[in-house]
Each structure stands twice: as structure tokens, then as C-alpha cells.
Chain A
Amino acid sequence: MDRTPIINIKNVSAGYSPDKIILKNINFTVYKNDFIGIIGPNGGGKSTLLKVILGLLKPLNGEISYKEKSYNKVNIGYLPQINTIDKDFPIKVIDVVLSGLMNGNPFKRFSRPEKQKAIDLLSKMGLEKYQNNPISKLSGGQMQRVYLCRAIINNPELLILDEPNTYVDKNFEKELYQHLIELNQKMAILLVTHDIGTISSVVKTIACVNEKLHYHNSNIISEEVLKTYNCPFELITHGHIPHRVLDNH
């Protein structure tokens, strides 16, 4: 296994205001070829962690270092959690996919081969006939596939997916995981999901995020891992009972 680190997070604390800390003292390294499943309760800070990695949210404390010096040079593909997007916006499906190729160039024009690449990806996801449709014509699950195309079109080194299986039917979910396993040959993947049943057969390792981050260096979701996953529910019912934190093994 290639142990070249792509991203290194050191003692990072983050939140949307200094008086409400969402992530506390996170230490986390993403290596080349990693496929990490990130699980945790709603509001546990999974999306927040991704935003910190993507440079969308400045950490309150600690530091993040990337393989290269500045964030812009690490090629990251991102599929955001769906509930933030406006489906009425007048934009064509293919144009959404192409946005993944902007590469920080404000004058960007897309060439024929680039457009062809977007069409090929859409075909792979079974959406070629929608390429010139407005996004409002797509269902939620189809939209998720479009966002997956957008995330991978630039061949990123790291692919970050925030609950890509939302709205996706069981058939395509299987296909989606197959695509991800294939993509993992070329890129590291961070996958946030609540689907703990299926991911253990897909991801290589697991991290549980609930204010703190517990990294589990295996894909076996044992009772121990589930206990960590469930700890906030215990906290709610029984007050501040100290809970077990898994060691790295």
C-alpha cells in the first residue's frame, strides 16, 4: 500500500463560531489509495470536517497541510450533501458536469474533447440523453449522479463524497459503489455515509466523527465500532457517561 500522505490534519478544532466548537482536536491523515468511510450521527460534524479539508471553513485551531504547498494545487473532487442546491437554477446538465474542469481559470472556455469527456461520463451513469436538459428535469437520484460526474471529471487525487447515496435507488447504489471501487485504483476517497451496512464491503477503513474523530484502521464494523457510532445516543439518554474510544490498531 502506498503510504504517501495527501492531507495531514493536526490538532484541528473547527466550528462556525468560536463559542460553538463542532470538531475538537482532530488528528487525521489521508494517504494515497485510501478509501475511508466516515460515519457518525446527524450533526456530528462530518460535513464540517469535509469543509475544513476543502478549505471552505477555516479551522479555529491547529493546521492542515497538503501534499503540495497550497490547497489549490491538490486536485480534489467534491460531491456536496444535496440539500444545499437550487434545482430551479437555469443550467444544463452538461454544464454542471463541465464546471469540474474550471481549474481556477476565470476565462475558461471548454474544448470539444472536454465536452466529449463530460458526455462520456454522463453515458457511464446512464444519463447521456439528459445532457442538454435543465437540471430541474432530473430526479434527486439522477442529480446525485450528475454531481458524481462533476466531482470526478478532473481526475482528482482525492475524491470527497458527502452522502452520495441520498435519493439513489438500490440498483444504482450497487453500481455507484462499484464505480467507487474502480475509481479508488486511481484516487483516494473519503465517503460520508449513514449506510453502515453496505459500506463495510466497499471502504478500506472507517472513521467515526462525533465532535472527535475515532479512526478505525480496518473495514470491519464490529460491535465496538458500532458502540462508538452510537455513543451520542447514549449520551443523550444517560447524561455524560464516559464512553469508550477505539484505539488505533
Chain B
Amino acid sequence: MQEIISLLGFSFFSNAVIAGLLTSIIAGIAGTYIVSRKIVFISGGITHASFGGIGLAYFLGLNPFFGAAVFAVLSALGIEWSTQKAQVREDSAIAILWSLGMAIGIIFVFLTPGYAPNLMSFLFGNILTVTTTDIITMLALTVLLIAGITLFYRLILYIAFDQEYTKTLGFNTTIVRYIISIIIALSIVMSIRVAGIILLLSLFTIPQAIANIFTHDFKKMIFISIAFSFLGVLTGLIGSYYFNLPSGAIIIFTLIIFWSILKVTIKLFRTH
């Protein structure tokens, strides 16, 4: 314990704790929306498509997160547009987007002279490399998310629940859905640092699955998800510091252990 407290003195470690907290809030809010609306697969498509942006940005010598954000937002808007138009979930279109993004990313990384040292951390996440600039960007997004969900809580809830009915109440639900999908895409990109592209989606879904054990209320789901997510992130942080393992993997592992223990406990209590 003593040792952990003294670790907080190191700026990279406290940076990591702050980044973990911010990521938990981002994933808690955005993930609750994703899980409630059952758009996990769509979010997976957006996440992997963003890798194309990372590769392209590398090739062009730009900030990879900028590339990821552009690809993520464009694919999110594209998917939202196609679902609004056709009123159906276009599973194969999403799968194509998913692999296309990865393919573009890999091609550009190969084309880039030299080698991409951070490639692994983009794929699997490394919470210990978070910079102060990253934290400022994350903080901005967190503030935006908290303000948005607080001000427009009812509207967001009802659009997610029953878009058509909400439209009859006099709202332009289409525009709101586009705005939400942009914010979801940015939330995904901002979580790449901590969880990595391959594991990121679990951070947006497993805490919600845990929260679902305790509640079936949208608002409570957000709070409980954030709490468990942060607990998972802290464990991941300690694990990656002491055992030099990728933080994303440890976070997911911890969360799944929480989830299994709670599920089993609840089952035992229910049957007795």
C-alpha cells in the first residue's frame, strides 16, 4: 500500500490514474448508450475502422489520434446514415467497414519507412504512456459528455428507447442521433490509449453487464459502470506496472472476473 501511494508521486503514474478515471467516465456514459441501444457490433465496426486512420496518419507523419478520430467519426456517420435510411441494421456493411479499416491501417503501417514502435500500444493499449496532452483532450471530452448527458438526459434516454415515438413529440431525432454518434466515435478514439483497439469494446460493455446485475435503470447503469470500470482500470494499472503486462488485457481480465463472481453469487442467492 505504502508503495502504491509513493508511486502516485511519479507523474507518469498519477497521469495514468487520472487517464484511467477519465476513460472510465467516458466508457461508462458512452457504453451505457451503446449497450442499451444494442449497437455493440456497430461500435466494434467504428473502433476497428479507426485503425485505418492511425495507419494513414503514421504514413503522412500526422498525429495518429487525429487520423483515428477522422476515420471513426466518418464511419459512425456512415453507419448512422445507412440505418436511418434503410431502417435496418446492415450487418455485412459494418463487417466490411470493420475489416477495411484494419486492412488500410496495416497497409499504411507497412508502407511507412522504419517501423511503428507504438503499434502494439494502439492495438492493446498502454495506460503508462499517457501524456499530459492526452489527459487534457480526455478531460475536454469528459466534460462534454457529462454536460451533454446532464442537460439532455431525458431526450437522449427517450431517443435511445423509442426514436419514432420521440419524433412525434416534436424533436428532430435524426440530428440528435448524428450528434450522439459523433460523440460515441470520439469516446471510442479517446479510449484507445488505455484499452487498445482490440480490447476497447470490452471497456464499453463489460462494466455495463456488471451494472445490469444490480439495476435496469439507464442512469444507475452509468454510475455503476463507471465505478466498476475504474476499479478494473486501477487493477490493470497496478498489474501493468508490476508485471509489465499490457494494461488493456489486465483491465478486461479483472472486469470479467468481477462479472463472473457477481453472476455466480447472485445465482446462488437466488436459488436458496
Contacts and interface: CB of A to CB of B under 8 A. Distances in A.
Interface in A127-180: 134, 136, 150
A236 interface: no
B155 A91 contact: no
A80 interface: yes
A90 B152 contact: no
A104 B32 CA distance: 24
Chain B interface, >50% SS class: helix
Contacts of B168: 54-56, 76, 78
A103 B168 CA distance: 10
B154 interface: yes
Contacts of A107: 151-152
Contacts of B152: 106-107
B216 A136 contact: yes
Contact of A106 (B155, B165, B212, B216): B155
Interface in B133-174: 151-152, 154-155, 157-158, 160-162, 164-171
Contacts of A80: 162, 164-165
A92 interface: yes
Residue with the highest number of chain A CB atoms closer than 10 Å, among B161, B165, B215? B165
B209 to A, nearest CB: 12
Contacts of B158: 99, 102
B166 A134 contact: no
Nearest to B176: A106
Contacts of A95: 157
B241 interface: no
Nearest to B158: A99
Contacts of B165: 78, 80, 99, 150
A108 interface: yes
A84 B169 contact: no
Interface in A73-113: 76, 78, 80, 84-86, 88-92, 95-96, 98-100, 102-104, 106-110
B217 interface: yes
B182 to A, nearest CB: 17
Contact of B217 (A72, A91, A106): A91
A110 B221 CA distance: 20
Contact of B169 (A86, A99, A134): A99
Interface in A28-66: 54-56
B263 interface: no
Nearest to A50: B168
Contacts of A150: 165
Contact of A104 (B164, B170, B221): B170
A175 to B, nearest CB: 23
A134 B170 contact: no
A134 to B, nearest CB: 3
A90 B169 contact: no
Given A90-B217, A91-B157, A91-B217, A106 B38 contact: no
A99 B160 contact: no
A221 B8 CA distance: 80
Given A80-B165, A90-B212, A108 B155 contact: yes
B218 interface: yes
Given A91-B217, A104-B169, A106-B151, 11 more contacts: A72-B170, A78-B168, A90-B217, A91-B218, A92-B217, A99-B154, A99-B162, A100-B169, A102-B154, A104-B171, A107-B152
Interface of B: 32, 36-38, 151-152, 154-155, 157-158, 160-162, 164-171, 212, 215-218, 221
24 contacts: A54-B168, A55-B168, A56-B164, A56-B168, A78-B165, A78-B168, A80-B164, A90-B32, A90-B36, A91-B157, A91-B216, A91-B217, A92-B217, A96-B161, A99-B165, A99-B169, A102-B158, A103-B169, A106-B151, A106-B152, A107-B151, A107-B152, A108-B154, A150-B165
Q: Which 5 A-B pairs have the closest CB atoms?
A: A134-B216, A104-B170, A72-B170, A102-B169, A90-B216
